[in-house]
Structure 1
Amino acid sequence: MKHSVTTLNTKRLIASSLKKIMSKKPFSKITVTEIIKDCGVNRKTFYYHFADIYALLKWMFEEEAVEVVKNFDIYTNPEEAIEFVIEYVEKNEHIINCAYDSIGREEMKNFFSSDFRGIISGVITKAEKSFEVELDADYKKFLTNFYTEAFSGMLIDWVKDREFTDEKLTVEYVTKTVKSTIEGVMQKEKDNKPTPDSKTNCP
């Protein structure tokens, strides 16, 4: 336990230095040397925890945002998770834009897609249990990919064009869409599910 806590604290220390430097220069211009000099760890320690600066950036977003979102009950109450994401973007607008400008839209979206996929798959699984249905594996995979692409892409677009987006409406629209579409899929699956009493009439 002590080792894991020390490891987490070291990662957070390194991530803090990255954020500090990102406030002063483009992400693509930052070096490992600058980061370790700022936080006081050696190069070996940095590479023990992270393969490169891109891995550090991804971990930072996961630690500060994705892992927190996982603790919300997105299926039952998606508003809280969406509001948290909006607040996180507001607090870290410069850092997120710095990363976006350096690595591009698609790479930035890929950062979030892998994590979103797990979160959304969990939401769909919870909906299946709530409606007592089981989707076909291929269809569940399709739905997971569909929502992952939609939400990760929307998040990246929103980061770059936030001045044109009403935050309250964003929460309302995303919540309404998530609830109505997923529940609609589950209800249709349930309606098509054979009942124990159904029998095939044979001549």
Structure 2
Amino acid sequence: MKNEEISYNTKKALSEALKQAMKHKPFQKITVSELIQACHVNRKTFYYHFADIYALLKWTFEQEAIGVVRSFDLIVDYEEAITFIMDYIEENEYLINCAYDSIGRDELKHFFYADFWALVVSIIEQTERMTRTRLEPDYKEFLSQFYMEAIAGMMINWIKEREHRDRQVVIRYIADTIRYSLLGILRSKGNQTTGK
């Protein structure tokens, strides 16, 4: 077995141990000691792979949800990508709720920020290519932050209000809002530069 495969398997085992622990106790009460004991590895091995338990949780989310979403064609598959995220949330309700209850809304958003930021920038850049329009760098950064905050905020709201909000309606609203507002912004900018 190659070193990369051994490393990945170790990370995956630690991730599974964390998920199991989160079924029974708050995130902040989970210790490195119990995770390494469950995986039969030593402390040095844990810290070789992760700076702390927060880094392990972030890696878990990245592997199980965000990494998959990156593979979607986000111009074509908005709704499919959002559906996948919602499926992941439902299947891992205990994990998300434990993280939410233990570290809070803002910190949970922070876990996803860098990765969702890259996704949102990708959506904007694909739409720029499609409309043959370029946004000023400052405005593109503003728009990326705007959409990132909106998507993350709406997903976290949905986590806590699922029983009262129709999932398909939320998916459609998020997808339509991004699609049409972004196309409108870029078409408007394109018309400004061509003098139409």
Mark yes or no: TM-score above 0.5. yes
| Residue 82 of structure 2 is aligned to residue 69 of structure 1 | no
Give distance in 2, aligned partners of 1:94 and 1:183. Answer: 37
Give distance in 2, aligned partners of 1:41 and 1:141. Answer: 43
Q: What's the counterpart of residue 173 of structure 1?
A: 173
Task: Give the ranges of 4+ consecutive aligned residues of structure 1 lying more than 4 Å apart after TM superposition.
Answer: none
| Residue 82 of structure 2 is aligned to residue 82 of structure 1 | yes
Q: How far has the Cα of 1:58 moved from its partner?
A: 0.8
Q: What's the counterpart of residue 91 of structure 1?
A: 91
Q: How far has the Cα of 1:35 moved from its partner?
A: 0.4
Task: Please give the per-residue CA displacement for 1:23-49, whole angstroms capped at 9, x wherever unaligned.
Answer: 111111110000011111111110000
Give distance in 2, aligned partners of 1:2 and 1:130. Answer: 41
Q: What's the counterpart of residue 100 of structure 1?
A: 100
Give distance in 2, aligned partners of 1:194 and 1:173. Answer: 31
Give distance in 1, aligned partners of 2:26 and 2:80. Answer: 32
Give distance in 1, aligned partners of 2:193 and 2:8. Answer: 47
**Range with bigger deviation, 115-124 or 153-162:** 153-162
Give distance in 2, aligned partners of 1:116 and 1:168. Answer: 21
Task: Please give the per-residue CA displacement for 1:82-106, whole angstroms capped at 9, x wherever unaligned.
Answer: 1100100000001110011111111
Give distance in 2, aligned partners of 1:151 and 1:113. Answer: 10
| Match runs of 1:8-87 below 5 Å | 8-87=8-87
Query: Any stretches of 5+ residues in structure 1 without a counterpart?
Result: 199-203
Alignment RMSD, CA only? 1.4
Q: What's the counterpart of residue 138 of structure 1?
A: 138
- Say how many residue pairs are matched: 196
Q: Kindly name which structure, 1 or 2, has the bigger radius of gyration based on alpha carbons.
A: 1
Q: How far has the Cα of 1:2 moved from its partner?
A: 2.2
TM-score (norm 2): 0.96
**How many percent identity over aligned positions?**
47
SS at 2:59 equivalent: helix
